Amino acid sequence: MTFAGCFSDHPGLDACLGFAPAKINLTLHVTGQRVDGYHLLDSLVVFADVGDQVTAGVGDALTLAVAGPQGAGLPVGDNNLVLAAARLLAPGRGATLQLEKNLPVASGIGGGSSDAAAAVRVLCDLWHQPLPEPQSLVALGADVPVCLSAQTVRMSGIGEVLTQVPILPEFFMVLANPGVPVSTAAIFRTLPQKANPAMPQSLPVLPNAVALAEWLAQMRNDLEQPARALAPAVTATLSALAAQPGCLFARMSGSGATCFGIFATAPVARAAAIALQKSEPQWWVAPAGVFAGF
């Protein structure tokens, strides 16, 4: 998969291509709620090497076309985050934007936020301007700043506080989404406790994938149990992942319904993804490594 770059068919006509990787919450601790309603989080985030593609080309007006296996029904109006990112970056400036949607929509893996961040990167390339400060993108959504660099990080506050973490050991994932919509607002409404403990102040140095899985099992996604109550398909997805040979740990990402399994090697993860897709042909399933960031 091409992650980024600009190309030219002939002098003066440029287009830039950007990768929008899936954001995976390995942990997600809900630690409180602000008076304005935003929830406070503490999350260990990685990005997968599967995702969407955003292309930007020269244009007098700002336009967006959507394609890809998950693009059906995705709105392309003013509420689309790709267009919102372009307007925030340079109000009134034109470009032709194309979004290849490979990730399920509203599925707990930050697809819309990652698309917006990718749009910012490709438009800055196209327009020959520097990237904005990540915090200036919070207006697009709390997840957009972390998606700009797409690096493994600890995300806290409402998502805008980004802290470096020790390098994680090599591991691989299988991502699975059963195609069942899960309402983030409904999950937060049913969350029994919103002031929960954060992760330890210092995260450990973990030697291998097994140690990572054991540590993750001691941490939480506080949204998983409410999601399982609202959407039993989440439980079925977690059970199916955990049952795959070589799966060291399974958890839901974000507010769901996408779940992930942790594997020690790429071949074992690929075999598990093939087997899971065969048994659940209606699900979206993808093997993935960890994306190194921009």
Active site residues: 23, 143
Q: Is the dihedral of CA 270, 271, 275, 276 positive or negative?
A: negative
Distance CA(193)–CA(17), nearest Å, equals 42
Closest residue by Cα to residue 98 from 13, 18, 14: 18
